[in-house]
Each structure stands twice: as C-alpha cells, then as structure tokens.
Structure 1
Amino acid sequence: MSTNENTYAVIVAGGQGTRMGTALPKQFLDLDGKPVLYHSIKAFADAMPGIHLILVLPAHQISYAQMILQAFEQRIDLTIVAGGETRFHSVQNGLNAISGEGIVFIHDGVRPLVSAALIHRCYEMALEKGSAIPVTPAIDSMRMIKGTDSEPVDRTQLRIVQTPQTFRTDVIKPAFEQSYNAAFTDEASVLEASGKKVYLVEGDRSNLKITTPEDLLIAEVLIKSMF
C-alpha cells in the first residue's frame, strides 16, 4: 500500500506482567528475538508505509521505549505518549497526539501477530463506515452464571472482540471528549455511548492477546509459521 500520511496507529501498552509472573512488563518480553511491542509496531509500519505511529506507555515505563527503538534495524519515527489512569485515559492521551484528520487504528500492544490483511480490512471498513471492530466467532460452549445456578448461552450470537479497533478521527476523537464511565471496556463501547453505530469486521484467530505464559508460547509457534 502507498504512503499513508493521514493514517495513525495508537498502540497502547499498559501491562504490568502480573499474570505472566515476570518482573518485566509483558509488552517488553522476548518474542522470537525481539520485544513483543516491536512486532506490534512493525506490523503497522510494514502494512501501511508512512503511517504515524503513537506508542502509549505508563509514565514509569517510558524509559523502556529505548529497548523498542533499538530493536529496529533502521530508524523509526515513533511518538511516545504517557498513559493515563485507565485504558480510556491512555487512549485519550494517544488521540490527543493526533492533529490531523484521517483513519486511526487503536491496537493492544500485546497483540503482536496482527496481520497486514486484517489491518487493511479494518482500514477499508473504517474509511467507508466510520468504524471497524474486528471480531471472531465464539467457538467454545458458554454458560451464564446466575448466583449458584447457570444456564447455557447461544454462542452463535456471541463474538470475541479484538483490536485494532479502527475509526475515522472525526468519529472517534469527539467520542473521547465525554466523561469516563466504568462501562467503557474498549473503544467501541466509548463510541456507542456517544450515540454512534459500531460496525464489525472479520477478525483473525491468530491475532491473539498475550496475557499468560501459555499465550507467549503459542505466539512463538505462530510467528515462526507465519513469517
């Protein structure tokens, strides 16, 4: 794809590594010889040449950013922004670093296997509809807990939400001007609360979020088979 001067990626990395059982935050752990975050950033740089990259890190982790920059063989332009109290505030800070209009991807820094095909799919949908939320079908049986009882849930009606959640900037930036609500679990929920419609796009099961040591092992296998 040609140069994308009006395209942005806000990559949010706020993990502490508690579930990984490591002192080093999970976004900086090694994956195939490079930090996890390196792969997430490189996926957008490769898929959308000329994209403006914005990395949002907790203030106390900004010193780790040098580790990411050094992982790239060639110099990469990366705007680094301090995160906020919640994901909502971190994304808000990232969006505030965007001055122009265009398409913005908002991506979990610990989803390092996002494919170019998914990035392009989200871009085209957001360009057309204003938003693009990647989802995959729920494949496991599920039950709804009600006190000490439970009941089955029709999984055909459920979708698992991924990132990059992708938007036109004129749609998502105004949505983040509203006050924070604990019900905001992702950018789609923020957009809906502002009265705008959310559009779904086909996600990718290999676009896993690294949360546990098992996830990192699976990512190692996948990255060797994909690239």
Structure 2
Amino acid sequence: MNKVAIIVAGGAGKRMGSELPKQFLMLQNKPVLYHTLNTFLSAYDDLQIVLVLAEDYVDMGREIIDAYFENDRIRIAVGGATRFDSVKNGLALVEDEAIIFVHDAVRCALTTRLIHRCYETALEMGTAIPVVKSSDSLRIINDDGLNEAIDRDKIVLVQTPQVFHSKILIPAFNIDYKDWFTDEASVVEAFGMMVTLVEGEKQNLKITHPVDLAIAEQVLADRAK
C-alpha cells in the first residue's frame, strides 16, 4: 500500500515567544522540522511526504529539504487559514490510493515504532489515532461556572500521527468546515465514521512552549546514547 505523510508545519509559534516559527528552531543542532521529516523517511523506504508550510516560509522549508534530504520523496504544499484548510491542501497532492499519515511538524520526538503501529492498525481498520492516558487529575468546568472531578481513566490525550485510508480521509475533507474541528479524527467522525485508538507515546510531545523544546532536546539526547 502506498504511504503518504502530510506534515503540517504552518504554525506561527507565538506561544514560544520567538519570531521564528517553532518548526524552524534548532534542536540537537538541526531544525525541529528536520527531526520530524527524518523519522518518517526512516520508517519506510517507500513513504512519500507532503510538507505543508505557510507561504512566507516555503523557501525556508526548501532550504532544509535541500540541505538534509533527497528531495524526490518530499513535496511542498502551501497552508491555508486553518489546520483544516492546510490538511486539505496537502491531500490535494495525494493522487493514488494510500494510507495517509497526518502529523504535527513540531511533534519531533516520535519514533518509527509509533509510525509502524499506526500504519498496521490503519491498514486493518481504516483509521488509527494514537492516544495516551492522563497522569493528572482532571476537572470539568460546567456552563454555570461550577467544576467537578471526572474519572481520568475515561479520558485519553490525543496525539499525531493520525492515520487513515485515503478512501476515508479524502472524502471526509470535502465536508464543510466547523469550528470544533481540532484534528483529523473530529473531521472523520463528522463524516460519519468511527475511529480506532492505538497506544501513543508519552515522549511524543508537541513543542508549544520553551520548556517543551528543552524536554525534546533531552529525549533525543538520551536516544542517541
């Protein structure tokens, strides 16, 4: 089965307090984006990547590709106003039936094991959404402003890559956008399909704040030992 990873790298990184988007910050002496791309390319020799970038940063993305990779396996799409639009633009470059990974570029500490696990599940079930259990206590704030504890054993935290058969994901992205579409799983569910959960990885963190970059630095350093 063809394999295509849509790597979404259109974020501005405002919460990092940096003028440079977080996918271009340095980690282990290479850009964050390098680590994400390299892990996917290492997972399968036949995997193709569609890198979705904000228009202003397409040239910077090309520079990273040219510096580190054989660019015949990576194509670039220009992002849109929302994540939904950016993923849809990436999907427009998927020409053949495939298993499609959609991944946040700034989740750069994922492993090839997770990629393989998601692929095998999506190949069998049509979908694969990695999740981890919450280690914190959780509370919900009701509409009236009151709050109450909820059972954390019934809550999971959703990660990427979210993986789908193209026959499911591409038609799903033809529906109208809704404000509550926060990820691809929510789009597919709105399309009327159920999704399959798989075990994620605690270290598959999303770099959002400066401390996340420091944690990712340590994770990658430990793996290199």
- Judge same fold: TM > 0.5, yes or no: yes
In 2: Cα distance, 1:137 partner to 1:119 partner? 19
State the Cα distance separating 1:149 from its structure 2 match. Answer: 2.1
In 2: Cα distance, 1:66 partner to 1:171 partner? 30
Percent identical across equivalent pairs?
Answer: 49
Q: What whole-Å deviation, never above 9, does each CA across 1:102-122 have from its counterpart, x for those lacking one?
A: 101000000001101100000
Instruction: Give TM-score scaled by structure 2 length.
Output: 0.96
1:206 is aligned to: 203
Q: What whole-Å deviation, never above 9, does each CA across 1:198-227 have from its counterpart, x for those lacking one?
A: 100000001010000000000000000113
2:100 is equivalent to residue 100 of structure 1: no
Farther off after superposition, 213-222 or 57-66: 57-66
1:192 is aligned to: 189
State the Cα distance separating 1:14 from its structure 2 match. Answer: 1.5
Residue identity matched to 2:182:
T
In structure 2, stretches of 5+ residues that fail to align are none
2:62 alignment partner, one of 56, 66, 76: 66
SS in structure 1 at match of 2:51: strand
1:225 is aligned to: 222
1:145 alignment partner, one of 141, 148, 151: 141
State the Cα distance separating 1:148 from its structure 2 match. Answer: 3.6
In structure 1, stretches of 5+ residues that fail to align are none
2:40 is equivalent to residue 44 of structure 1: yes
CA contact (8 A) 1:35 1:71 kept: no
Farther off after superposition, 147-156 or 181-190: 147-156
2:165 is equivalent to residue 168 of structure 1: yes
SS in structure 2 at match of 1:19: helix
Give the total of aligned pairs: 222
In 2: Cα distance, 1:103 partner to 1:148 partner? 43
Q: Root-mean-square deviation (CA), in Å?
A: 1.1
SS in structure 2 at match of 1:111: coil
SS in structure 2 at match of 1:85: coil
2:108 alignment partner, one of 89, 105, 112: 112
2:71 is equivalent to residue 76 of structure 1: yes
2:117 is aligned to: 121
Residue identity matched to 2:7:
I
State the Cα distance separating 1:176 from its structure 2 match. Answer: 0.5
2:31 is equivalent to residue 10 of structure 1: no
2:23 is equivalent to residue 22 of structure 1: no
State the Cα distance separating 1:81 from its structure 2 match. Answer: 0.3
1:158 is aligned to: 155
CA contact (8 A) 1:83 1:91 kept: yes
